[in-house]
């Protein structure tokens, strides 16, 4: 995890930059988990390409905002209903697939005749 990703996540959660060390540690854990999940989705890459960092940021913020409601599909409080996708990466599946397809095209291949 880069410090830049942590800072971007912190700005989205609290633009006033009043996040304490406990929350920051929690965010580091979340970002690490999100990065591990994304590496698997990308086909087991060792590092996530920087042009896909936005996925790590967005999914980390979603995960943080869902703390306390893990496992629930929806949550209603005083008439306000929040519904979550079972897969926090669902909206990025096309981007992930496009990236994987682009990598396959760039990969050198040996053809036997």
pLDDT profile of the chain (113 residues), mean per 10: 89 85 92 96 92 95 82 74 80 93 72 62
At which residue do the structure tokens 């994304």 appear? Answer: 38
pLDDT for the residue 24: 92
Element (H, E) at 82: strand 80-83
pLDDT for the residue 89: 92
How far is it, in rounded angstroms, from Cα 97 to Cα 24? 31
């Amino acid at each position: 995890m880069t410090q830049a990703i942590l800072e971007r996540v912190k700005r989205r959660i609290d633009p006033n930059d009043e996040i304490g060390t406990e929350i920051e540690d929690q965010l580091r854990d979340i970002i690490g988990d999100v990065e591990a999940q994304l590496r698997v989705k990308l086909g087991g890459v060792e590092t996530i390409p920087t042009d896909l960092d936005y996925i790590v940021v967005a999914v980390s913020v979603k995960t943080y905002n869902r703390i306390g409601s893990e496992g629930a599909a929806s949550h209603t409080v005083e008439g306000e209903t929040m519904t979550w996708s079972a897969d926090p990466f669902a909206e990025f599946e096309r981007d992930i697939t496009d990236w994987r397809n682009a990598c396959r095209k760039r990969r050198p291949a040996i053809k036997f005749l």
